[in-house]
Homo-oligomer: A and B are copies of this chain.
């Protein structure tokens, strides 16, 4: 072991003084340890070590086991700290390297004459004369070192104790920091999940996943692949943050690259350097414009989803995968894997449910469109009538600033407004000439017949008046009930305007289709008595804006 620099004085008084000083140092160490702020902790502990040996400068290094380098972690005293922090020196040379490798303190009384000393990395002004260097030990392993310069005495036991204390507090602070960081990332993940869950719009969900995965994982880029089973392709969606231009989705064969493996097997793949993974497909980098180094790829796996009693459960399956590319600081770790897997699982579920909803919604709309078109087509004069009335009514609803929910009610109500024609004999509906009064009475039943057909459908109650009241007049002279003014539901008053306009601009057995201006004139005349003036104005406004496309006039 090393010799003490000065012989100790051990008279009773000196001993008491030393003991009292020692406890002051220990108390100070306890005080410093009470912070959980890592940087403060290391700085103050290093300052204390500098103080106990009368030094003026000191450095703390941590060992990077991956590279066998010592990294400047804390520098105190008269040096240019900012230029040193983060710099690296090899553990295989120099005084610090020797101290770490031998796990022993090294005391150098004259740095200038020591062959191991390769000069100060810091500021030349320091005039570093001597140095004490000792390893930081954690459970017998050297995890770094402390080096102090220009000491006046060398209480090595105390310094080593403080160094070990520093190590132990460092470890605990890191543990706490990591744990708190983990909590924070989980909280971010939860708020992402909430965001993703509150949209049923597929494109928006995809964008959210891609952009947020990148942020959550501190990655340079991220991308999402959706499996197209029909073509056995993976369709690539890129992070918009990185690729500002909106490219059309790009495709790669389903068995290509690491992502192909992930989508096929459902495995998670984390690679530190893709150039060493033969599965990596460089074509993806060319497409995305990102030079992939580290990569974390997880499957987009839909779990079993319970639809409800009659509809049973949909089967778990993989619909694609998500990649985080190039961890900005280091490599993807277990926490990253956990976070991305969880995000991907939840995102897949949300995508699936959004698809289920969108499908159910589309199925309803397209089926009634098809059925209504078939009913209209029974009479060549009314072909496409309900669809046009629906389009006109929705354009009016938009102009009126009605909510999307009400707009949708108007769309559906207008589509269905004439379905009562199912109950009118087609001999009358398709009669090539004018109707007798008796036949006209039959036709006038269609609002009530239509309402009767859908009145048991719980979720069409708001649309019902579009069917039952679209032939009522503002002056009470309409049918079937002779309602007047506000007694007629707004949806029926809107549909009535669109209905009359489409009838006027369509051929009839007894007359040709009118041109639009003539039809609009008639609407203006009917306003107040028959039609609601407000909605006639709305219709004309919408027409003027070019949002009404009447059917082309054709001779019957």
Residues of A within 8 A of B (CB): 10, 12, 15-16, 19, 22-23, 26-27, 30, 33-34, 36, 138-139, 157-158, 161, 164-165, 168, 171-172, 175-176, 179-180, 182-183, 186-187, 189-190, 193-194, 197-202, 204, 303-314, 342, 345-346, 349-350, 353, 356-364, 366-368, 370-371, 373-375, 377-378, 403-405, 407-408, 419, 422-423, 425-427, 449, 453-454, 456-460
Contact = CB atoms under 8 A, between A and B. Distances in A.
Contacts of A158: 23
Nearest to A456: B370
Contact of A204 (B168, B193, B306): B306
A201 to B, nearest CB: 4
Given A36-B172, A375-B422, A458-B362, A198 B349 contact: yes
A346 B191 CA distance: 10
Contacts of A197: 197, 346, 349-350, 353
A190 B193 contact: yes
A161 B27 contact: yes
Contacts of A33: 168
A346 B186 contact: no
Given A314-B405, A362-B458, 12 more contacts: A172-B172, A172-B176, A190-B193, A194-B303, A310-B404, A310-B407, A356-B357, A363-B460, A367-B457, A370-B453, A374-B419, A377-B423
Closest 3 CB pairs of A and B: A312-B404, A360-B360, A199-B306
16 contacts: A10-B16, A34-B139, A34-B168, A175-B176, A182-B183, A183-B186, A189-B190, A194-B303, A197-B346, A200-B353, A204-B306, A308-B358, A353-B353, A356-B357, A371-B422, A425-B426
Nearest to A137: B30
A165 B30 contact: yes
Nearest to A408: B311
Given A172-B172, A179-B176, A194 B345 contact: yes
A172 B308 CA distance: 49
B200 A34 contact: no
Chain A interface SS verdict (over half): helix
A4 to B, nearest CB: 11
A202 B307 CA distance: 9
A361 B311 contact: yes
Contact of A460 (B36, B313, B367, B425): B367
A198 B302 CA distance: 9
A13 B404 CA distance: 92
A368 B366 contact: no
A349 B193 CA distance: 11
A194 B425 CA distance: 55
Contact of A357 (B303, B353, B419, B427): B353
Contacts of A356: 200, 357
A360 B360 CA distance: 6
A18 to B, nearest CB: 8
A151 B214 CA distance: 62
Contact of A363 (B179, B364, B370): B364
Contacts of A404: 307, 310-313
B367 A368 contact: yes
A27 B161 CA distance: 7
A234 B306 CA distance: 27
A416 to B, nearest CB: 8
A72 to B, nearest CB: 24
Q: Which of A19, A303, A377, A423 has the most CB of B within 10 A?
A: A19
Contact of A408 (B15, B310, B371): B310
Contacts of A176: 172, 175-176, 179
Contacts of A373: 453
A190 B186 contact: yes
A371 B419 CA distance: 8
